[in-house]
Every structure is written in structure tokens, then in C-alpha cells.
Amino acid sequence: MQATKTKTKSTNFVETPAENFTEDKKIIAFTENEWAHLQDEVAKQFSEGDLDFGKAVRNARYLADIDEGFAEIESGHWTEHELIEVDENE
């Protein structure tokens, strides 16, 4: 089983024991940005003495998604929406 993002070619791979799968190992693929965030997250958790690899992967991917969103905004790819105020008493 391989987890990949479709927008960016993944170049970094990690093999981990697959606890919930029938095969011996699970291959997890990361984009370059996810990999950088993963390294930072693992170092942070390790220094705190509470390393949870699954949490580190989730956090790294979340932070990479935030970076991607900011990059889209900075490049002008965003849509302006009008807020409609609703009076709850009506």
C-alpha cells in the first residue's frame, strides 16, 4: 500500500511495520515539503520524549497542506466570498 499526493511527485519514502495490514511493511511516500515538516515534527516530539510517528505524519501533512494553501493565496488563486448576515430574530 502506498500513500501519495497527486499534485507533487513524491521523492521520500519511509518503511514502517504495518500493524493493521497483512503485509510485513507499509510504504509511506512524502512530498518534499511533507518530508521537511516530518523531520521537524519527529525532532520536536523526540526532544519532548513523546515520539508518536503516526501523529508526526499527520501533523507534517497538515502543515504541508497549510503551506500549499498560503502559496495559492499568495499567487492570486483565491475566490472572494460575500458574507450574508442573518438576523436570528426573524
Predicted confidence (pLDDT) at residue 2 exceeds the cutoff of 50: no
2 three-state secondary structure: strand
**What helix, strand, coil percent values describe the chain, rounded to 5?**
45, 15, 40
Cα–Cα dist 32/8, whole Å: 9
Write down the pLDDT at residue 90: 65
DSSP codes of every residue in 21-55 = SSSSEEEEEE-HHHHHHHHHHHHHHHHHT---HHH
Write down the pLDDT at residue 60: 95
Give the residue-averaged pLDDT of 66-88: 88
pTM of the model: 0.60
pLDDT-derived band of residue 1, with 50, 70 and 90 as boundaries? very low
All cell numbers assigned to 16: 514502517
The pLDDT tens digits for 14-50 are 555 545 555 566 777 888 999 999 999 999 999 999 9
